[in-house]
Structure formats: C-alpha cells, structure tokens
Amino acid sequence: AAAGGDKTARGGPHTWLTMRLACMATAVLGDNVTLAATVEEDVLMLTGHPCIDVRARAVLAVYRCMLVSPSVRDRGLERIVGIAGEAREITMQLASVSVLCELVARRPRQYGARLVPFLYSLLRGGGTGEADGPKVVNWIKLKILRAISLAVQSEPSLANLPDTEDTMLNIITLPSSNISLIIEGLLMVASALHSHDSLVRLSLQRAHELFQDARWKTDLSVMTLLNAVLLQINVVKPGLVRELGLEDIAQAAQMDGNTVSILRTEIEDGGEDVVTAAPAGAGEEEALEGVDGGGSSLAGGGGGAGDGEGKAPESSRWAMDMQGAGWGEEEDGW
C-alpha cells in the first residue's frame, strides 16, 4: 500500500490507492485483527502522503484499525490528534475531527477526559494554541459541540473538565450572525451542562436577547429552537426561569426531538458567519465518501466504536448530521 508515494497529483494515479485503503478499512472492520496488525504501519505512514485524498482515507483506515487492534490505538490516536490540530485543509479537518468526535461520543469513558479538552481548544480557534494556527470552520465546530454534548450526557463527570465554562461562554456570546453555533451551544448547556449555574443563567439571558433580536424574531425556526432551550432548562432549573421572567415562554407546547433536528438543519445555512469556508468540494467528498461504510455508530449503525461500556445515548440530531460530509451515502447536508 505504501507504494506510489512519489506521485503528488490529486486524483488520477492515486485513485487506486484510495480504493485499496477503502477496501482495507472495510475488511478490518470485520474484526480482522490479523489484517489490522499487518497493515497498521502502512496506514499510519500514509497519513503523511503527499496526496490529500490518500491522507484523508488513511486517517479513516487508522481509525478502523484502532477499533480492532489494541497495538495501534495509542499511536493512531496521537497521529489523528496531531492532524486535527495542524490541518488547514477542510478535507483533513473533517476526516480527523470526525474520527475524534466519534470516539468521544461513543466511548466517553475511554476517550472523553483525553479528547474533550482538545476539542474545546478547536472550538476556541485551533489545536496548536497559536494565533496564526489553523482555524476550524463553523460547520465542523457544530459536529464537535454535538459530540461533546452526547459524551457529557453519558458521562456527567466530563462536564467539570477545565475550560468548559470559558469555551461555552465564547460560543454563547458570539455575534448573533453565528446563530447556528449559538443555538447549538445553548442546547448543549440546557441538555448536558446544566450543573453550571452561571452558564445556565447566561444561556437564559442570551436566549432572551435573541428573542428580541430583530434579525431573528420573525424566523420561526430560530424562535422555536430558542423555545426548546427554555423548555429544557425549565425542566432542570424552573426557579431560574421564573426568576428571569421567562416562565410564560417556557410553557409553550413541547416539541419532539425530530422537529428540533429539522429546524436546526434549516438554520445552519443562515447567518453570514455560520460557514466561514466552503464545504468539502467534489474531490474532498470523493476522499471521504463512505467514511464508515456500515453507517456511523452515532447514527445507530453497528460500528465497533459503539460497543462496550460508556456508550452514549442515541440521538436523532446526531443521526441526521452524520449523514452528510462523507459519513453516509447522502450528499453533504451542511
């Protein structure tokens, strides 16, 4: 598999290599420990290949090997974290961050304490900590927020990790043009971080501000999602809702989770800063197509990452999101 490393052009000569990596990853997923142990060195090496399509596919092959071969888990995770922290190309950001989100949301006890702080650093701007470091686009940040939210709901101790309050404060107080990220942050506080009283209070105040924002007050989807935030907080902090005078709003009719999913999808294309860079192009979709051939375990599939202890709750919101950007067979839905 390592042959062909001297060809740097995208596509063309490398198509056979990406296809072999895809087939290898599928074979490994069948609990083929022997195959995983045989190819792990090659796929780790290919994460540094000159061709971006090969690098992205190699990241996903490393992930598959990690699921069945303990010998590659630490090295594979270290390599993928390094790529996620340094990647400037959306293709590599998407491939590496998607793997990390999958691990965090489905195995929070095993990976949460190690990976959630790193994911928080990506939400704050980049994994390198440098001002000129790579910036993660907002539609990938949405994936991160949803993964952490699922992990914390499954493993509540993760709610108390360092940087939690500072990171969520930054998200919630973004300019209102970032409405999709703000609402995702508010939903995360309401459903997973309600033990942080200061964050809950700030979330209610921010929701009230957005209710009054002329830009969004006529948008039914935004208003309904803000109402969902109030409803959720009212369940766990009814006294605070009454204290801030939002009780009447919070008494609106309850909606099911699927309605919330649909409305969230509708607003993700709104706002000038919701997507700060173009989504994956045709070449990137080709590199990432079928990331998890059996369906993401977060979408209810039978992937190995979903087995075992610490399994996060199923989420119709996440299931919808993982259909896009290479995790399913449908086109990018961002």
Residues 6+ apart with CB under 8 A from 124: 163, 166, 167, 170
90-106 and 108-123 helices, crossing angle to 10°: 140
Q: How confident is the model at residue 211 (pLDDT cuts 50, 70, 90)?
A: confident
Does the pLDDT of residue 219 top 70, yes or no? yes
Does the pLDDT of residue 174 top 90, yes or no? yes
Percent of the chain surpassing pLDDT 70: 62
Q: What is the mean pLDDT of residues 18-27?
A: 66
**For residues 89 and 267, which has the higher predicted lDDT (pLDDT)?**
89
Residue type, 191: S
CA distance 81 to 97: 8
Give pTM, 2 decimals. 0.73
Distances (CA, A) of 143 to 15, 75, 185, 190, 268: 28, 24, 11, 17, 12
Rg (CA), the chain: 20
Does the pLDDT of residue 53 top 80, yes or no? yes
Percent of the chain surpassing pLDDT 90: 36
**For residues 2 and 240, which has the higher predicted lDDT (pLDDT)?**
240
pLDDT score recorded for residue 23: 66
The mean pLDDT value of the chain amounts to: 73
Tell me which residue of 129, 215, 217, 135 sits closest to 178, measured CA to CA.
Answer: 215
